[in-house]
Amino acid sequence: MSSRYRDDDTSNQAHERPIIEAKYEAFRARDQLRSEMPSPSVSTKRQAAQALANYRDQLVDYRNEGVLETPWDKREVNVDIVDDLLEQTVEVGENTDWSGRQQAQSVPAVAQLNARHLIDIGKELDAIAKELGKAANVESEGELYGVKKDPDDYAEPKADGITKPQ
Q: What is the tens place of the pLDDT at every residue in 52-101?
A: 999 999 998 888 877 788 888 889 999 999 988 888 888 876 656 666 66
Given this model, what pLDDT does residue 97 score? 61
Task: Kindly state whether residue 98 falls inside one of the protein's structural domains.
Answer: yes
Rounded mean pLDDT, 119-141 = 78
Task: Kindly state whether residue 126 falls inside one of the protein's structural domains.
Answer: yes
Task: Kindly state whether residue 156 falls inside one of the protein's structural domains.
Answer: no
pLDDT mean across residues, the chain: 78
Residue 49 burial (C-beta neighbours within 10 Å; 0-12, 13-18, 19+): buried
Query: Under a CB-based contact definition with an 8 Å cutoff, are residues 153 and 146 in contact?
Result: no
Task: Kindly state whether residue 148 falls inside one of the protein's structural domains.
Answer: no
Q: What domain range is 47 assigned to? A: 17-140
**Does pTM surpass 0.95?**
no
Given this model, what pLDDT does residue 111 score? 87
Instruction: Mark out the alpha helices in 60-103 (DSSP H runs).
Output: 81-87
3-state DSSP assignment of residue 107: strand
Task: Kindly state whether residue 100 falls inside one of the protein's structural domains.
Answer: yes
Task: Kindly state whether residue 22 falls inside one of the protein's structural domains.
Answer: yes
* Total domain count, the chain: 1
Residues 6+ positions from 154 with CB-CB distance below 8 Å: 148, 164, 165
Handedness of CA 41, 47, 52, 56 (dihedral sign): positive
